[in-house]
Structure 1
Amino acid sequence: MEILSLAFIGGNFLFLILIGYSVALDFITPSQSMIDGGVTLVSGNGRFELGFFSPGLTTQKRYLGIRYRNSPATAVVWVANRSSPINDSSGVLMIDSTGNLVLVNANNSAVWSTNTTTGAERPVVQLLDSGNLVLRDQEDGNSGNYLWQSFDYPGDTFMPGMKLGWDFKRGLNRRLTSWRSADDPAPGDFTWGTELEGNPELVMRKGAAKFYRSGPWNGMGFSGSPDIKPNPVFDYNFVLNEDEAYYTYAYKNSSAMLRLVMNQTLYSRQRYTWSEETKSWVLYGSVPRDLCDHYATCGAYGNCIIGAGTAPMKKIAVVIPVTAVFIAAILLISYFIWRREANRTGNWGNDQNNDRQKEDLELPLFEFTTVVDATSNFSVEEKLGEGGFGAVYRGTLPDGREVAVKRLSRDSGQGLNEFKNEVILITKLQHRNLVKLIDQAIRKQLDWSKRFNIICGIAKGLLYLHQDSRLRIIHRDLKASNVLLDEAMNPKISDFGLARIFAGDQTEGNTSRVVGTYGYMAPEYATDGLFSVKSDVFSFGILMLEIVSGKKSRGFFHPNHSLSLIGFAWRLWKDEKPLELIDASSSESGSNISEMMRCIHISLLCVQQRPEDRPSMASVVMMLGGESTAMPFPREPGFINDKGPLESDSSWIRLQRSSTNQTTISLLEPR
């Protein structure tokens, strides 16, 4: 393996001859060297490359760094000589007589070194498949017994397998530090690491000032970061013992490319994944998400409230009294005022629920005794199913009308605000494919014509929510059990408890409180809390696949493979066998094969990985309505191999548990 040392003699000519052979070269020994402009070091899997580079377009300074090899040159994940650039192309990387990896300039002066005091008889430097550059003894093989490794000295990028935190035995604190600018890799003032004051937590700082904190580690997660939770994309872990305290993560799909980068310009930690289709890095989320995520942005004892979207709306400062006498006086006065108002109105219930009490819901009011009588005191025999709020019961009003009664449970994973949210939205929205507040359960067999009618009806109802209503609504929990059918088998979208209202020109938002149902949630929402009209489109695509195939997305099982329903549909599409997805009970003779094919095609367009690739609901309705409409070829879907958790159909994706929704079919009656 003398190829690299020959590079001193052969120059560029030798580089051209040996470039094909260099792909397999992932290590160097003391008898070899790597020069600027010569052969680079490439990991065994061909994903990472160690070499010389100049950042940006305005500098000629040279740095030694590691980057993703088959992606744009900007994807540098580690730099050796961040603070000591070489002013020309004279740099040479070698193993010196002490067994250290050294970078020298034209004067043979060391500008960077691993500087380890632990020697090795046969030192070797290797670029691992993880992107970790390691110095080890050749006799140790791949045992992990490294004398030095780049993962212990991260730059601005957090890679899968890295440890963010402390090694107490060595006194080593691994933390990320941003670049000073886009063309200067020198350490900036934006950092992210594990801090150990009290319980350990992840903290970002701008200089010495705290900028963002994850909240303390409580043994299960970070208390202030509900977005860091079990998910289909990556595994995470926090290790805390007498030797170490660190945070780490690993990508579940080993073939995927992921990086977390500290952005000095925006002061945010950004998560990127690589898209093979577009040959580019796709931003899938950032932290902090909004101004309310900034540390102490509202001051001491402040409570930050942010509305729909990413701009802060207002801050409420809550001043804490300091004397017990003053507290007692305020509480006593408040109690008498509250009691007087309660006596006047005859309502001793929960009056704490904000401005929504001022809403004129224009609904008929029922005495509780009427509801009790209608449902035979919420009899088990009248129970239709369970929802996120609690049980749903069949009832008969005194005038003979049959109704479904949704009762908020004390143990509900969704709260009173969400329950009121649903009532308010239903009363404000008027569309033939949106459920009203009187419904009845019936069951009928669905042939293809009925299924196609249901698909078209759901699409029109969702289009109304996104575009045509006086409010722009993101449903956030569209699934089979939230679509009701009347006696004519017309679909009605229901359950608006988790819906979000947007301003007229707003189409997306984000949240640190991810709610919904795994199996229907879009990738960007499940992993980063980013939701938009396109996340509803993803859920609609899943629902289409379920209607077409007659199979549930959650818990989908096939004896010949472990693919999810999305993955199975995608495989059949690529194998040009999409009709094998069709439910046999709906594909009787005379069925419209072109409609079936069109629905499968549209569903795969809706479940594409990237939100921008998915069609709008206006386009979906147009494609469903005309065979002449041209449709693009779908790209690979999101969650193609993941089936999601099977133990619950929870609409409250946190550590809380919610009941399972059952499918109901409803009958609409006029108000």
Structure 2
Amino acid sequence: MEAEKLFLLFSLIMLQFSCCASQDSLKSNQTIKEGHLLISKGNNFALDFQCSSSSNRYLGIWYYKVPEKTVVWVANRNDPIIGSSGFLFINQHGNLVLYGNDDQKLPVWSTYVSVEENDCCEAQLLDSGNLIMVTKRSSSIIWQSFDHPTNTLLPGMKLGLDRKLGIDRFLTSWRSADDPGTGDFSARINPNGLPGVFLYYGTKPITRSLTWPWRSHMSLYNRAFNNSGYQTYKALSWRQSDGQWKDYWKTPQSQCDYYGHCGAYSTCEVAHPSEFVCACLPGFEPKYQEKWSARDGSGGCVRKRQHTSSVCDHGEGFVKIENYCLPDTSNAAWVDKIKSRADCELECKRNCSCSAYSIIGIPGKGDACLTWYRELVDIRYERSESYDLYVRVDAYELAKNTRESNVSHEKPMLASLVPSIASFCLLISLSAYLWRKKRAKKGNELQVNSNSIELEYFKLSTITAATNNFSPANKLGQGGFGSVYKGLLANGQEVAVKRLSRISGQGTEEFKNEVMVIAKLQHRNLVKLLGYCIQNEEQMLIYEYLPNKSLDWFLFGKSSLDFPPALHQLSTYSCLKNNFLADETRNLLLDWRKRFDIIVGIARGILYLHQDSRLRIIHRDLKCSNILLDAVMNPKISDFGMAKIFEGNQTEDRTKRVVGTYGYMSPEYVVFGNFSVKSDVFSFGVMLLEIVSGRKNNRFYQQDPPLTLIGYVWELWRQDKALEIVDPSLNELYSPREALELIRIRTHNNPDIALSVEDGMCSVNQGQNPEGDLNSNCSSPKFDFPDFPTIGIRAILILEGLDGLLIFFVKSPIFTGSNYGVWAVKMKMYLKAFDLWEDVETEREPFHLNNNPTMNQLKHFNEQEQKNSKPLLAFIMQ
């Protein structure tokens, strides 16, 4: 006892050396009291004393980065500390203990673990929100808060009974929003039958779910608390745009979500607010007819003809019901060895107590037979996660159901047979007429709309003669819209003819859209539309002819006898005619400077679409195959069939018809149909990676696990092997020092010092006068802009944003939820070009790196930045 008092006295003395706010661990000679925190290494979570509306104090874990203080775990939830004299430390027995005041003999809370005296442990708060106790010698976890959840389920946390450790993990509600004490409600995994979550009020089940809503990658936070006797189990995600938690799943939501709302042997379906939700299973009737008529189905149903018929060895059978979730499986039995429905039915039929059966799929094991031997309870309509349930009925009900099933199939057949024969010929004739009328109407509509567009109209005979009657020898390529042919007009002008296929499912709308969009655009980095042709059933667009095909031809090297004219200038041309495009040849054509010029040209074109044209236009299908190259390898953006015109101050839109190419479409566009200038910026970032690496994004570059180009480059970046992405065909024509120079951070207190778009582009082009959209007067000081390797590492920096992760080494701007995309401070000209730059003054002194920083130096710099009081962070995705 004396030893314990001395140890306690020693701990109190050590209060003056309490851990500081930047620590993530608590050692045996340290103490935490009110006003001090443990903060996880990545600043995700913090542990300290929480104050309620009264003078009560609780030791809890909360989200450190979220402005709204959100507690996810409480140690002494049922034993609050009065006042601010509480403190936490590790005692001589190796337990984490919490005392309420200096004189208290018994701890308010403790981990209560057994540790060898010479193997004392330490506590650590992880970035997952898990507080762990580890031994010094083996670093093994002897206790963790994830084994003792309160009302919140965090990613990585488990629920359910662990029979080996003897731990039952479950959630319990708070008494109120200000009182974390154990409430009346709990959420538990059902240990019997199918795994599912049950919500209980005391021991009474309130609702159950066979779904697992927190499997989604967005499931950041799940909580349950009691509010005036009504319990809701929620899955929440933090919404950065408005700084609030957003419910994206919760239960219960309707009457049928409440456990056994319609009693036994009945189904529950919310078809219409005015209709009764309960219905008896086939062969059953309401147990209490008066209550049932009054829309009270809690009494459930009972079997018909209970006293006059039997369901045991008297010709009984099974009736199938569809689109309902399975009844409560707590009293069901598994028969693993039975795989077929016939054998499962026979197994159930052998036992007179078996009331139903179903065949369900078990991950990793295949199909299995599930049989019920008691009442069938809680059968809800659920189309998305439904199974076929076979309910046991007597012989009379089986025969009745069979007759009704046959009649329901025969009546429509007999009723439709005679009139269908009589109208068959008429239907064919009418369909042919309507089809021709529709085709003519579409052509007329486009003709009328085109009257207001200053485009030349080409006759079909002119295009037919120019393409040698659409000869296969003139064919340049093919896509979902149809084919593209090379043509030669009578005046000697070469053209490219985009011919809409008659069987194309997407063509007509894209054709009309492309005419309306590109006819209004004039820019040297956009392909030029010369005219169109609509005659009979033909719809064609006539473009300027670009002899060097598309950018992906040069980047990824296809086998073809029709090599672009750019190759004819090379001495190696004769060796290439029957082979793939060699790396040496690509090196000569796409060196660092040429790739950089192509990138700048694409950026100019996107800048024009998003900002400088009369209308803001979102392309929605930017990829290397849609970047065409003229005779001197200047890039031109093509294929505007998917483009969308924004009018006025519109900045974003949403569609149910997601079009484009997977691998180039932004996640929010693929998943939710949301698109804006951010969508094109995402596609541009993917093209940057492809241009630097010479590899396609939608291929796999690693076996275990298989990774796309984006994932592969990110892995290389994390391993300090970023330069391995550079196209090997470039040999020694790039400088590693210049490549690493890109990610050197330059910070200015005055945002006016930073480059403007014009200044940056002037410095890139080394004083050349770019035509069209940029000013040739470079009044600002010249900026030391490295050669093209910088673009490669910029693309690497995009990587983390594509997966929703924090981007390293970006320090000058703050990007909020309304901003998008960033790939280095030296690419500020691109960010301004896309209207994505936000200058923010900072009170901190600038931090300068060495002239030739290493990857480790840059990572260390980023870690230091995260500790600043005003960290400047950047995100691509929210």
Taking structure 2 as the reference length, what is the TM-score of the superposition? 0.43
- 1:183-262 alignment to 2 at 5 Å? 183-185=178-180, 208-209=206-207, 213=211, 259-260=220-221, 262=223
1:81–1:22 distance in 2 versus 1, CA, 3 Å: same
Aligned residue number for residue 514 of structure 2: 426
Q: Describe the superposition over 1:519-554 as per-residue Cα deviations: whole angstroms up to 9, x where unpaired.
A: 75557668x758442523533662795799797795
2:257 equivalent to 1:51: no
2:485 equivalent to 1:394: yes
Q: Does the Cα contact within 8 Å between 1:520 and 1:538 map onto a contact in 2?
A: no
1:529–1:178 distance in 2 versus 1, CA, 3 Å: farther
1:161–1:7 distance in 2 versus 1, CA, 3 Å: farther
- 1:82-93 alignment to 2 at 5 Å? 82=77, 85-89=80-84, 91=86, 93=88
Aligned residue number for residue 324 of structure 1: 409
CA-CA distance at 1:394 after TM superposition: 3.1
Aligned residue number for residue 533 of structure 1: 676
Aligned residue number for residue 26 of structure 1: 26
Which of 806, 818, 826 does residue 612 from structure 1 map onto? 818
Q: Distance in 2 between matches of 1:359 and 1:90?
A: 84
Secondary structure of the residue aligned to 1:141 is coil
Q: Distance in 1 between matches of 2:419 and 2:245?
A: 47
2:392 equivalent to 1:287: no
Compare relative contact order (CA 8 Å, sep 6+) and give the higher one, 1 or 2.
Answer: 1
Aligned residue number for residue 468 of structure 1: 615
Q: Distance in 2 between matches of 1:456 and 1:23?
A: 48
Amino acid at match of 1:468: L
Q: Distance in 2 between matches of 1:269 and 1:84?
A: 28
CA-CA distance at 1:572 after TM superposition: 0.7
2:392 equivalent to 1:345: no
Amino acid at match of 2:34: G
CA-CA distance at 1:134 after TM superposition: 3.1
Q: Does the Cα contact within 8 Å between 1:53 and 1:64 map onto a contact in 2?
A: yes
Which of 744, 754, 761 does residue 574 from structure 1 map onto? 744
Which of 533, 537, 542 does residue 685 from structure 2 map onto? 542
- Give the percent of matched residue pairs that are identical in Structure 1 and Structure 2: 25
Aligned residue number for residue 847 of structure 2: none
2:527 equivalent to 1:382: no
2:608 equivalent to 1:482: no
1:621–1:639 distance in 2 versus 1, CA, 3 Å: closer
Q: Distance in 2 between matches of 1:205 and 1:421?
A: 54
Q: Does the Cα contact within 8 Å between 2:223 and 2:234 map onto a contact in 1?
A: yes
1:591–1:19 distance in 2 versus 1, CA, 3 Å: same
Q: Describe the superposition over 1:313-332 as per-residue Cα deviations: whole angstroms up to 9, x where unpaired.
A: xxx9xxxx984346647876
Q: Distance in 2 between matches of 1:191 and 1:507?
A: 45
Aligned residue number for residue 404 of structure 1: 498
Amino acid at match of 2:615: D
Q: Distance in 2 between matches of 1:630 and 1:42?
A: 30
1:183–1:211 distance in 2 versus 1, CA, 3 Å: farther
Q: Does the Cα contact within 8 Å between 1:570 and 1:636 map onto a contact in 2?
A: no
Unaligned runs of 5+ in 1: 216-221, 229-233, 235-248, 250-258, 275-279, 303-315, 410-414, 641-671
1:98–1:9 distance in 2 versus 1, CA, 3 Å: closer
2:547 equivalent to 1:442: yes
Aligned residue number for residue 358 of structure 2: none
Q: Does the Cα contact within 8 Å between 1:154 and 1:176 map onto a contact in 2?
A: yes
Amino acid at match of 1:89: S
More helix by share: 2
Unaligned runs of 5+ in 2: 258-268, 278-321, 324-382, 384-403, 451-456, 530-540, 549-565, 567-588, 698-708, 727-735, 748-753, 771-777, 802-806, 808-814, 823-827, 843-871
Secondary structure of the residue aligned to 1:574 is coil
Taking structure 1 as the reference length, what is the TM-score of the superposition? 0.53
Calculate the aligned-residue CA RMSD, in Å: 7.1
Secondary structure of the residue aligned to 1:346 is helix
CA-CA distance at 1:201 after TM superposition: 8.0
Secondary structure of the residue aligned to 2:818 is helix
Aligned residue number for residue 74 of structure 2: 79
Q: Does the Cα contact within 8 Å between 1:61 and 1:88 map onto a contact in 2?
A: yes
CA-CA distance at 1:426 after TM superposition: 2.7
Q: Does the Cα contact within 8 Å between 1:478 and 1:540 map onto a contact in 2?
A: yes
Q: Distance in 2 between matches of 1:268 and 1:502?
A: 37
Amino acid at match of 2:608: K
Q: Distance in 2 between matches of 1:22 and 1:36?
A: 15
Secondary structure of the residue aligned to 2:48 is strand
Q: Distance in 1 between matches of 2:424 and 2:645?
A: 32
Q: Distance in 2 between matches of 1:214 and 1:357?
A: 48
2:225 equivalent to 1:65: no
CA-CA distance at 1:481 after TM superposition: 3.0
Q: Does the Cα contact within 8 Å between 2:547 and 2:631 map onto a contact in 1?
A: yes
Q: Does the Cα contact within 8 Å between 1:92 and 1:103 map onto a contact in 2?
A: yes
**Between Structure 1 and Structure 2, how many residues are aligned?**
534
Q: Distance in 2 between matches of 1:544 and 1:379?
A: 31
Bigger Rg over Cα: 2
CA-CA distance at 1:149 after TM superposition: 1.9
Secondary structure of the residue aligned to 2:61 is strand
Q: Does the Cα contact within 8 Å between 1:395 and 1:403 map onto a contact in 2?
A: yes
Amino acid at match of 2:147: D
Secondary structure of the residue aligned to 1:431 is coil
Q: Describe the superposition over 1:8-52 as per-residue Cα deviations: whole angstroms up to 9, x where unpaired.
A: 645xxx645544599475244xxx895753765566788754332
Q: Distance in 2 between matches of 1:513 and 1:190?
A: 43
Aligned residue number for residue 374 of structure 2: none
- 1:162-201 alignment to 2 at 5 Å? 162-163=157-158, 167=162, 169=164, 174=169, 183-185=178-180
1:75–1:468 distance in 2 versus 1, CA, 3 Å: same
Q: Distance in 1 between matches of 2:653 and 2:42?
A: 38
